[in-house]
């Protein structure tokens, strides 16, 4: 858990994408959200 005012979101990533980026279930990934 995060302390203070930090916010934690959980985003599901499909198995096919995890395989392409070399990640497994439970691994941390960095996500950048960009406005269109």
The answer to whether the CB of 24 falls within 8 A of the CB of 18 is yes
pTM above the 0.85 mark? no
Phi-psi group of 4: left, alpha or beta (phi > 0 → left; psi -120 to 50 → alpha; rest → beta)? left
What is the DSSP secondary structure assignment for residue 26, as one 8-state letter?
T
Let me know: does 23 contact 29? Beta carbons within 8 Å. yes
Reading the chain (36 residues) residue by residue, the pLDDT tens digits are: 555 667 778 888 999 999 999 999 989 998 898 999
């Amino acid at each position: 858990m995060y302390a203070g005012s930090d916010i934690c979101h959980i985003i599901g990533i499909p198995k096919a994408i995890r395989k392409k980026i070399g990640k497994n279930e439970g691994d941390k990934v960095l996500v950048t959200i960009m406005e269109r």
